[in-house]
Amino acid sequence: MTTPALLPLSGRRLPPLSLGASAFPHHRATLRLSEKFILLLILSAFITLCFGAFFFLPDSSKHKRFDLGLEDVLIPHVDTSKGDRDLGGFLIHGQGRDQHRHREEEERLRNKIRADHEKALEEAKEKLKKSRDEIQAEIQTEKNKVVQELKKKDSKPLPPVPLPNLIGINSGEPADPDIREKRNKIKEMMKHAWDNYRQYGWGHNELKPIARKGHSTNIFGNSQMGATIVDALDTLYIMGLHDEFREGQEWIDKNLDFGVNSEVSVFEVNIRFIGGLLAAYYLSGQEVFKIKAVQLAGKLLPAFNTPTGIPWAMVNLKSGVGRNWGWASAGSSILAEFGTLHMEFVHLSYLTGDPVYYNKVMHIRKLLQKMDRPNGLYPNYLNPRTGRWGQHHTSVGGLGDSFYEYLLKAWLMSDKMDTEARKMYDDAIEAIEKHLVRKSNGGLTFIGEWKNGHLERKMGHLTCFAGGMFALGADGSRDDKAGHYLQLGAEIAHTCHESYDRTTLKLGPEAFKFDGGVEAVAVRQNEKYYILRPEVIETYWYMWRFTHDPKYRQWGWEATQAIDKYCRVSGGFSGVKDVYSSSPTYDDVQQSFFLAETLKYLYLLFSNDDLLPLDNWVFNTEAHPLPVLHLANTTLSGNPAYR
Ligand code: DMJ
Using 50 as the pLDDT threshold, list the residues of the chain that sit under it.
1-34, 50-94, 633-635, 637-643
Angle at CA 421, nearest 5°, toward 398 and 600?
Answer: 50
What separation in Å is there between the alpha carbon of 572 and the centre of ligand 1?
A: 20
Task: Output the pLDDT for position 245.
Answer: 98
Number of continuous H segments (helices) and E segments (strands) in the chain: 21, 19
Tell me which H or E stretch contains 618: strand 617-619
In 3D space, the residue among 374, 389, 466, 391 whose CA is nearest the CA of residue 429 turns out to be: 466
- Cα(35)–Cα(45) distance, rounded to whole angstroms? 15
For ligand 1, what atom is nearest to the CA of residue 336? 6
The CA distance from 242 to 244, in Å, is: 5
610 is catalytic: no
Among 224, 232, 222, 312, which residue's Cα sits nearest to residue 267?
A: 312
Catalytic hit among 420, 510, 587, 588? 510
pTM: 0.77
d(CA 444, CA 519): 8
Taking the centre of ligand 1 as the mean of its atom positions, its distance from the CA of residue 250, in whole angstroms, is 26
CA distance linking residue 443 with residue 428, whole number of Å: 24
Q: Amino acid letter at 42?
A: I
Residues with CB under 6 A from ligand 1: 402, 462, 533-534, 593, 597, 621-622
Catalytic residue among 206, 231, 344, 401: 401
Among candidates 623, 532, 547, which has minimal Cα distance to 577?
532
Alpha helices in 371-475 (DSSP H): 401-413, 419-435, 465-472
Binding-site positions for Ca(2+) read 621
Q: How confident is the model at residue 159, as a pLDDT?
A: 72
State the virtual CA torsion across 99, 103, 109, 111 in degrees, nearest 10. Answer: -170
Question: Coil, strand, or helix at residue 641?
Answer: coil
Closest by alpha carbon to 489, among 552, 440, 534?
552
415 and 399 Cβ atoms separated by less than 8 Å: no
φ, ψ at 44 (rounded to 5°):
-65, -35
Q: How far is CA 313 from CA 94, 199, 304, 328, in A?
A: 81, 33, 10, 10
Q: Among the options 206, 337, 498, 535, which is catalytic? A: 535
Q: State how far the alpha carbon of 396 is from the alpha carbons of 171, 427, 458, in Å.
A: 33, 14, 11
> Are the beta carbons of 617 and 167 closer than 8 angstroms?
no
CA of 400 to the centre of ligand 1 (A): 12
Strands (E), 165-313: 206-208, 213-215, 263-265
pLDDT value at position 57?
Answer: 45
Report pLDDT for 225.
Answer: 97
* CA dist., res. 636 & res. 643, Å (int): 8
Contacting residues for 640 by C-beta, under 8 A, at least 6 apart:
418, 419, 420
Tell me if 600 sits within 8 A of 276, measured CB to CB.
Answer: no
Q: In angstroms, what is the span from residue 340 Cα to ligand 1's centroid?
A: 11
- CB distance 236 to 244 below 8 Å: yes
Question: For the chain, which residues make up each domain, given as ranges?
Answer: 177-627
Rounded-to-integer distance, Cα 72 and Cα 167, Å: 75
Beta bridge partners of 314: 265, 323
Q: Tell me yes or no: is domain 177-627 CATH 1.50.10.10.
A: yes
Report the candidate in 250, 268, 249, 354 with the shortest Cα–Cα distance to residue 311. 268
Q: Is 34 exposed, middle or buried (0-12, 13-18, 19+ CB in 10 A)?
A: exposed
Ligand 1 atom 3, closest CA: 622
First and final CA of the chain: distance in angstroms? 92
Q: Which of the listed residues 228, 265, 535, 589 should we mutate to test ligand 1's pocket, taking the one with most ligand atoms within 8 A of CB?
A: 535
- The answer to whether 361 and 304 have CB atoms below 8 angstroms apart is no
Catalytic residue status for 535: yes
CA distance 42 to 513: 131
Does residue 510 have an active-site annotation? yes
How far does residue 428's CA lie from ligand 1's centre (Å)?
20
> Is 208 in a helix, a strand, or coil?
strand
Per-residue pLDDT tens for 39-96? 555 555 555 554 444 444 444 333 333 232 323 322 233 233 333 323 223 233 345 5
- pLDDT for the residue 642: 42
Q: Calculate how far, in angstroms, residue 533's C-alpha sits from the geometric centre of ligand 1.
A: 7
Atom 1, ligand 1: which residue's CA is nearest? 622
Cα–Cα distances in Å, from 167 out to 148, 205, 356, 614? 35, 31, 29, 10
Q: Which atom of ligand 1 is nearest to the CA of 465?
A: 4
Concerning whether 142 is annotated as a catalytic residue, the answer is no
Instruction: Write out the binding residues.
Output: 621
Give the C-alpha separation, 617 to 627, whole Å. 4
CA–CA dist 334, 383 (Å, integer): 9
Q: Which atom of ligand 1 is nearest to the CA of 538?
A: 4
DSSP assignment string, 446-469: EE-EEETTEEE-EEEGGGGHHHHH
Q: Which H helix or E strand runs over 515? A: strand 511-515
